[in-house]
Structure 1
């Protein structure tokens, strides 16, 4: 079944069932890797909120969550440089941080974020990423917890949007 959002038509890409299964696998890996520790999950808004919600509620560890928003745009295009991390508060020194992100394509914004966070002295920083577009990658990024590698296509649903619409879809759809 296709869906229309504004001027685009999208077709099913990754089902709700496949998303739930993969998120469960990622949660088990994080639980195993961080047993006995209290990681801080940094959720990148807006796109990662559904992925983060589904992931973290399946992790039975003591943990903390913080929500950040990255400012990296000039007009309608990304500069690839994070100018500001909005919402980050608290001391990160000595903390185990897991950044939860919806999608990594070029990797430029994520690398800038990683560089800035590293200067704050955390014990470790790892990435939990729902989607990765290897064809679009311009800088190497280590993603310890990766949901799916996809082609360089435009997707919506499960937190990702087109012009602010489609985040609420419980599956992923790809532009036709």
Structure 2
């Protein structure tokens, strides 16, 4: 098996600019009451860490884990909760932070799960938004960058556990001999 080619999509500088702009919008919208920011593990952890440092509002941090990809480049469609939230979000403003929203299946699963705790409001923030692939009813309230096609890695996104450490976003191209 040959090594995949990494085609640049967003530079580290572009990533930083997107994160700062998102943080400003979220801080303005949420207001001084703040809320609970929920990081979707594992992919969103890099984005999440950068994003919460840009927020100017009080924010409690929590994590939720889901699994749907495994070692594939396409979602299996089977979503399982691997780590529940620990915070009491009843009656509170909640910001769900995702690395990428693709078909919307995982986001829909999470919004339904978190909605069961009766928060005052839930907003979804995704660094990357693949709108044209959406087949589940999901609104991304804070979208960093809209992308069209390809399997993306870097800035927390991985392929088979690799490439999360890249500072920018890259499209993974499989070279077939």
Q: Normalising by the residue count of structure 2, what TM-score does the alignment of the two structures yield?
A: 0.89
| SS, match of residue 57 in structure 1 | helix
Higher relative contact order (CA 8 A, sep 6+): 2
Aligned residue pair count: 171
Structure 1: gaps of 5 or more residues: 1-5
The answer to whether the 8 Å contact 2:62/2:87 transfers is no
Structure 2: gaps of 5 or more residues: none
The equivalent of 2:8 in structure 1 is 12
Aligned with residue 153 of structure 1, among 145, 150, 154:
150
Q: Is 2:108 aligned against 1:105?
A: no
Aligned with residue 132 of structure 1, among 100, 122, 129:
129
Distance in 1 (alpha carbons) for counterparts of 2:8 and 2:59: 34
Q: By how many angstroms is 1:79 displaced?
A: 4.9
Distance in 2 (alpha carbons) for counterparts of 1:73 and 1:105: 12
Aligned with residue 70 of structure 1, among 45, 62, 66:
66
Distance in 2 (alpha carbons) for counterparts of 1:85 and 1:97: 20
RMSD: 1.9
Q: Normalising by the residue count of structure 1, what TM-score does the alignment of the two structures yield?
A: 0.89
The equivalent of 1:26 in structure 2 is 22
Please give the per-residue CA displacement for 1:90-118, whole angstroms capped at 9, x wherever unaligned.
32210110000000111012111111211
Q: By how many angstroms is 1:62 displaced?
A: 1.1
